[in-house]
A and B are shown apart, each in its own frame.
Chain A
Amino acid sequence: METLLAILIGCLYAAGVYLMLRRSLFKLILGLVLLSHGANLLIFTAGGLTRAQPPIIAPGEFDLPANSPDPLPQALILTAIVIGFSVLSFALVLFHRAYQTIGSDDPDELRVSDQ
Chain B
Amino acid sequence: MNLLLVLPLVIPLLSAALSLLAWRRIALQRMLAVVGTAALLGCGVALLATVWTNGIAASQMGAWPAPFGITLVADLFSAIMVVLAGLIGLAVAVYSLASMDEPRESFGYYPLLHVLLMGVCGAFLTGDLFNLYVWFEVMLMASFVLLALGGEPDQLRGAIKYVTLNLVASALFLAAVGILYGIAGTLNMADLARKLEDVAEPGTLTALAMLFLIAFGIKAAIFPLFFWLPASYHTPPVAVSAVFAGLLTKVGVYALIRVFTLIFVGDTGFTHTLILVMAGATMVTGVLGAAAQYEFRRILSFHIISQIGYMILGLGLAGLTSSPAVATLALAGSVFYVMHHIIVKTNLFLISGVVYRLGGSFELKKLGGLYRSSPMLAILFLIPAMSLAGMPPLSGFFAKLSLVQAGLAAEQYAIVAVTLVVGLLTLFSMTKIWAEAFWKDQPAPITEPLEMTAGERWKLMLPIVLLAALTVTIGIAAEPVFQLALRAAEQLVDREAYIRAVLGVPS
Q: Which residues from chain A sit less than 8 Å from chain B, CB to CB? A: 20, 25, 28, 32, 35-36, 38-40, 42-48, 70, 72-73, 76, 79-80, 83, 86-88, 90-91, 94-95, 97-98, 101-102, 107, 110, 112-114
Contact = CB atoms under 8 A, between A and B. Distances in A.
A97 B160 CA distance: 10
Contacts of A42: 175, 178-179
B13 interface: no
A110 B148 CA distance: 14
Given A83-B134, A90-B144, A101 B151 contact: yes
Nearest to B163: A91
A8 to B, nearest CB: 14
B118 to A, nearest CB: 15
Contact of B175 (A39, A70, A86, A90): A39
Contact of B161 (A36, A79, A87, A110): A110
Contact of A94 (B130, B133, B148, B175): B148
Given A42-B178, A46-B178, A102-B157, A94 B144 contact: yes
B162 to A, nearest CB: 10
A76 B157 contact: no
A80 to B, nearest CB: 6
A39 B164 CA distance: 16
A28 B164 contact: yes
A25 B157 CA distance: 11
B354 interface: no
A38 B175 contact: yes
The 8 nearest A-B residue pairs measured at CB: A46-B182, A43-B178, A98-B156, A113-B157, A39-B174, A39-B175, A110-B157, A35-B171
Contacts of B133: 80
A24 to B, nearest CB: 12
Contacts of B153: 101-102, 112
Given A25-B160, A76-B130, A98-B160, A32 B167 contact: yes
Contacts of A101: 151, 153, 156
B49 interface: no
B227 to A, nearest CB: 8
Given A46-B181, A86-B141, A94 B163 contact: yes
B140 A43 contact: no
Interface stretch (B230-238, B302-310, B376-384, B393-401): B230-238
A55 B144 CA distance: 39
B300 to A, nearest CB: 15
B157 A98 contact: yes
A52 B43 CA distance: 50
A42 B208 CA distance: 13
Contacts of B171: 32, 35-36, 38-39
Nearest to A98: B156
B154 interface: yes
A43 B133 CA distance: 14
29 contacts: A32-B167, A36-B174, A39-B172, A39-B178, A42-B179, A44-B178, A45-B182, A46-B181, A46-B182, A46-B183, A47-B182, A73-B178, A73-B181, A79-B134, A83-B134, A87-B140, A90-B163, A91-B167, A94-B148, A94-B159, A101-B151, A101-B153, A107-B160, A110-B157, A110-B161, A112-B154, A113-B158, A113-B232, A113-B235
Contact of A76 (B159, B181, B231): B181
A43 B156 contact: no
A113 B229 CA distance: 11
A72 B174 contact: no
B160 A95 contact: yes
A113 B231 contact: yes
B163 A83 contact: no
B137 interface: yes
Interface in B438-473: none
A46 B175 CA distance: 9
Contacts of B98: none
A20 B174 CA distance: 18
Contacts of B230: 114
B168 interface: yes
Contacts of B190: none
B145 interface: yes
A110 B141 contact: no
A50 to B, nearest CB: 13
Contacts of A97: 148, 151, 156
B48 interface: no
Given A87-B170, A97-B156, A110-B161, 8 more contacts: A35-B171, A40-B174, A43-B174, A47-B178, A79-B134, A83-B137, A90-B141, A113-B232
Given A39-B171, A43-B174, A113-B232, A94 B182 contact: no
